[in-house]
A and B are shown apart, each in its own frame.
Chain A
Amino acid sequence: MSDELTDIYQELILDHSRHPHNFRTMDGPSRMVDAHNPLCGDTLKLYVRIENGRVVDASFKGRGCAISMASASMLTDRVKGCSLAEAADLFETMHHLLTGTGRPEPTDLGELGALAGVRHYPMRVKCATLSWHALKAALTEGEPAMVSTE
């Protein structure tokens, strides 16, 4: 099997996709965003609870490929406890990492660095960025509660 394939489908990503963390609806979220990838039909709902300028809880529901499920699972793990500014920074960092437009060191990102492999697959980048666009919308007052990666 080629290295690129094991890179994109490494064990950590497969674990998250098979057993996604925070895979649940949320009662009374501060924000709920519907995210949709019209390219493949994948949809997910991202829920966040914000208290005193901090993300205190994050969860998601939906269906999609291994990459989009793993990305959303890792996102919800990571964003919990972040201030709004930190979460916004995290979006920027991940956006650069996944689209290959910046050069953040995956090692600084912990588990999230495992998603860096999608940079080699232009057709799969939107799978990984779907939940992150939902997060950005959830953090921004006045943003529509619906995002699309197209």
Chain B
Amino acid sequence: MGLDCAAESITAATPTARWDPGAVRSDFPALQQEVRGAPLAYLDNAATAQKPQAVIEAVARYYREDNANVHRAVHLLSARATAAYEGARAKVARFLNARSAAEIVFLRGTTEAINLVANSLGLQAGDEVALTHMEHHANIVPWQLQQAASGAALRVLPISPRGELEIEAVEGLLSTRTRLVTVTHVSNVLGTVNPIHEIVDIAHKRGIPVLVDGAQAVPHLEVDVQALDCDFYCLSGHKLFGPTGIGVLYGKAERLSALPPYQGGGEMIRRVSFEGTKFADPPQRFEAGTPHIAGAVGLGAAVGYLQGLDRVAAAEHEQGLLRYATQRLREVPGLRIIGESPDKIAVVSFVMEGVHAHDIGTVLDHKGVAVRAGHHCAMPLMDFYGVPATARASFAFYNTREEVDRLVEGLQLAREMLA
């Protein structure tokens, strides 16, 4: 590092001093409430994040002042709605560092984005799609539907007991018939950050495109799609502090241009006659029907909110929470953390000997602590670890060490009561 000791010790002593979670908490109305007589400790951010006032107000103001259909009428409100919708697209493009806003398709969410690519890729019998053992069902089931329809095969990239992709096994599972490698950037259960650069390198050397499920990554990591060099990147607005029902498919321009439409309807055409239809260019080609305009506006506001934060400090704060939570959870007898990659975002899944995850969830709920309990839409991963379910605490930059303490107190109570 080349720094002297004094400088290093200052850095070590004040890793999160630049970040005050109390200040950002006041931006989130839902965090101001009590549940079951205690202040809400919302530790279910990997399921969906809370919304800042800026997002709530942007959606409300759109409906209050600008509501009209986009790309259609000549009147002023339609012009304002179109400008707001396309403005949101440009904001998301800058947020991901896409080359152009035309590479940003607005959809319902990550699930629809993956379904779009799965449907439009034109898989045929004998083709293969490679995915990892840690995928969310949203990056498994769309491919299984295509498998059934086309006869294409799935190849599963293995993971280690620590919850890391076995990167050295990737190459051997690719073949001349591999049409796509589809991989989550961050596991929603394990928190593992996958080495996307390496995966893209391996795949691109063979001319295979890569789709990245970024739903769990974008709330925590600064994502640059050009630096990653992935061909597709998918995200959900609601996990990024934006509205539900809006998400994004980023695709390199040449990749999107090569895909046929996913759904037909208005908005996605250039000219329609009964003899045939000429489709619009991307991104409109993939946005049939009136889009979720207010959702896109809200997502644009969420992205704007995040860009107004010191995201480096926010990420350091989250990593501090992860270290603290990991250390405190290890103090709870009978508790086992699932997912121990050194490269993790602030998600901790765990099981407790003799206590089912759902019972943990109910006891914590009584303490005002919201966690997720279940299979997290990753049943193959549950099978890998031989558990029916886990409990999962997932953090955002607005969470605090006190909330970690309350989580641990609740777990001690669950253990005393139920184990």
Contacts and interface: CB of A to CB of B under 8 A. Distances in A.
A2 B365 CA distance: 11
Given A2-B36, A9-B418, A41 B366 contact: no
A67 interface: yes
B375 A2 contact: no
B356 interface: yes
B374 A41 contact: yes
Given A40-B389, A65-B356, A2 B366 contact: yes
Nearest to B416: A1
A40 B413 contact: no
Interface in A26-81: 39-43, 63-67
Contacts of B126: none
Nearest to A8: B362
A65 B413 contact: no
Interface string B90-122: 000000000000000000000000000000000
Contact of B382 (A9, A17, A41): A41
Contacts of B388: 40-43, 63-64
B358 interface: yes
Interface residues of A, number: 22
Interface in B345-391: 355-359, 361-363, 366, 373-375, 379, 382, 388-389
A66 B418 contact: yes
B417 interface: yes
Interface residues on B, range: 20 to 34
A85 interface: no
A39 B374 contact: yes
Nearest to B354: A18
A14 B418 CA distance: 7
Nearest to A38: B375
Contact of B362 (A41, A43, A63, A124): A124
B362 A121 contact: yes
A66 B374 contact: no
Contacts of B417: 1, 5, 9, 14
B356 A64 contact: yes
A127 interface: yes
A143 interface: no
Given A14-B417, A17-B418, A41-B379, 15 more contacts: A1-B366, A2-B366, A5-B417, A9-B417, A14-B418, A40-B357, A40-B373, A40-B389, A41-B382, A42-B388, A65-B356, A65-B359, A66-B359, A121-B362, A127-B358
Interface of B: 36-37, 355-359, 361-363, 366, 373-375, 379, 382, 388-389, 413, 417-418
22 contacts: A1-B366, A2-B37, A4-B366, A5-B366, A5-B417, A8-B362, A14-B417, A40-B357, A40-B373, A40-B375, A40-B388, A41-B382, A42-B388, A43-B388, A65-B356, A65-B358, A65-B359, A66-B355, A67-B359, A121-B362, A124-B358, A124-B362
